[in-house]
Structures are given as C-alpha cells and as structure tokens.
A = this chain, B = another copy of it.
C-alpha cells in the first residue's frame, strides 16, 4: 500500500533531502561539519527572517520550548502564556514545571489571541518577564496575530520578552522574527522544514540573551548560550538532520520565501474552501496557512473519517484533547503542492460518502480546482 502522508508533522521528506541525509556520516568535531553547521545556521536565519543567533537542539520542538522557559524564567518569575489549544496549554505546563508563575490567557479551541487581551493582562499583572504564544496553534490550525502582539509589546512593554512557538509556522507562514519583535522564535524539523523529527531551532535576540545571562533557573542540556558558544553543538549534534536541514533550507530559499508563503496560502485557501463547499465547518476563527482543522459532520466521528481515508492510503490527523473524534486536521505545510490537495480532498469526499455523508459530493474537489485556476 502506497502512503500519502498529510499529517501536520511529520510531513513528507523530499527525495533530495533524504539523499543528502544518506551520504556517509561525518564526525561532528571536524572542520567540514563545523562549516556545514555554520552555513545551516545562517540559512536558518534567512528562513526565520532574523539577524539573531539561531541555535539547534537535538530534540523535538518541545525541547526548544523548554529551553525558552528554563533559560529565561527564574523561580517565582511571572509570564503570560496564551492558551487556545494543546500547545498553548503546554507553555503553561512548562512555565509551572520550572517554578515560575503562568498568567494563563485562555481561549476556546479554535479561537485566536486578541492583542488587547494581552495588553490588559500586562496592565493588570506587574513584572511580566515574557509573553509565550504560538504563531500557529497546531491543535486547532489557528493563527494568532503575533505581528500585532509583537509590535504592541515593542511599543508599550519593551521590557517583556516575546517568545513565539512557530513550530508549524516558520517556513510556511511569513513570520518576520525581527520586524515583529520576536525575541525567541522556535521551530522543529518535521514541519515546513521537510525533515524527519529530531531537530529543534531557536532564534534568540540580544535582549533575550541579556535576560538569560541574569537568569537563575536550572538547566543543563537545553543551554541556549552554551549552544551559541559551542559553535557546532554543545553536545553531539544530529549530524544527518543538520545536513538534511542544509538541503531543505536551500530548497526553500531557491523557491523563494515569498513563493513558499504564497504556495502555502493557496493550498490553505483551496483546502478551506473545499471543505466549506462540502458543507463542513472550519474549527478555527482565524485559520493558519499550515494546516486546516475541520469539524466532523454530526453523527460521524472524525476517527471514522480518518480510518476510511487510511483505506485509500491517505493519512490525516485527529483532533487533540477534548476535540479527539470531533475534528480532523489536514496538513499542507512543507513538501505539498496542488496535486496533493486535490488528491486529499477527493479521498476525503469518498470517505465521507462511505460514512453516509453525501452532501455536495464532488463539490469539494471542484472548488479546490477553481481556487487553483483562479490564481
């Protein structure tokens, strides 16, 4: 059975990337690898649109999230965490795990953060050291307006660090790290960077470095300043993933950042409009261009839709937390192009029909085709 992976991470790995990772492994303490590592970090800066240092951890994205807490917050420090899904909740959990206080700004799953809410929270809570948020909340496919939030912080609360989990955003959505005042931006290898899981990236501003230097919390492995000093990994870096990242970042830059973002925008639009044409409802009030979360029709569990699509070889994702069984998520970040979306929507339509939902049969794919023809 041929597999068609449409999950929001891992995402398909391009053949060129696989090939580059399959070259003979080299030792990480050689000039050759140091050169590759430095070049890769520089390429990552360009994709992350920052002049700040970018460090790489051999970990999942959550490892970099932990670093962004443990390195920044001392015990008793106060931070705002925006929670509108599973990954927003994770910020709260990590902050508490490190003995700091989380002022949690909670939204319904599918809703997005309002800049005024964050401003009010900062007004009502003194000494907020950092604001933690997602650019794209992967559990709901929602984009938080981090551009507005970042600029508000810069203007009104310049002492607070702005820390953004961009794991399903960087490389898919136009996240302007420096222009949007992001002190720490985070991403993972297995999303729009088109790699297997195992590598996390973290950009860190000079302002953040100052805070980290004065911080007293406990950490050892996830040592941001230590990684910057070490040049090519404080600990053994994931050599083949770094080499693969070098290839995939070059692919992204060769296609052109604007073209990559535009591609994701069109794939997202086609997916969103296709499911709406089928009479389905989007979960998100502000859908992200990286993945689309769709409410399952009444009386049909999203688990059944996912299982039926799997019979055709197409793998999409379930909801998380209390949305399990209630929504399904289609990814279109990374190595995806128009034919992939057309295929996925057709297979979704067949799965729905098999489960007794036959409204507007054929209209989803047709709508996606129309969107693609329009541009």
Bound-state CA distance A363–B373 (Å) is 16
A248 at interface, CB cutoff 8 A = no
**Is there an interface contact between B340 and A312, defined as CB atoms closer than 8 Å?**
no
- Whether A361 sits at the interface, judged by CB under 8 Å, is yes
Query: Does the CB pair A339–B4 fall under 8 Å?
Result: yes
Contact B373 A354 (CB under 8 A): yes
* Interface status of A362 (Cβ within 8 A of chain B): yes
Separation of A22 and B373 alpha carbons in the complex (Å): 40
In angstroms, Cα B338 to Cα A1, docked, is 11
Which residues of A1-45 have CB atoms within 8 Å of chain B's CB atoms? Answer: 1-2, 4, 14, 22
Known: A22-B22, A365-B365, A365-B366. A347 touches B337 (CB 8 A): no
Instruction: Report the minimal beta-carbon distance from A354 to chain B, rounded to whole angstroms.
Output: 7
CB-based contact B337/A2 at 8 Å = yes
CB distance from A312 to the nearest CB of B (A): 5
Q: Is the CB of B372 within 8 A of A350?
A: yes
Q: Does A313 lie at the interface of the complex (its beta carbon under 8 Å from any beta carbon of B)? A: yes
Interchain CB contact under 8 A, A362 and B372: no
**A335, A347, A363 — most chain B CB neighbours (10 Å):** A347
Within 8 Å of chain B (Cβ to Cβ): is A130? no
A340: chain B residues within 8 A (beta carbon): 2, 343
* Residue A250 at the chain B interface, CB threshold 8 Å: no
A residues 327-341 in Cβ contact with B at 8 Å:
335-340
19 contacts between A and B (CB under 8 A): A1-B337, A2-B336, A2-B339, A2-B340, A4-B339, A312-B337, A312-B338, A312-B372, A313-B337, A313-B339, A314-B339, A339-B343, A340-B343, A343-B343, A346-B346, A353-B373, A361-B369, A362-B369, A366-B366
Given pairs A312-B338, A362-B366, 9 additional interface contacts (CB within 8 A): A1-B337, A312-B339, A338-B347, A342-B342, A342-B343, A343-B343, A346-B346, A349-B369, A365-B365
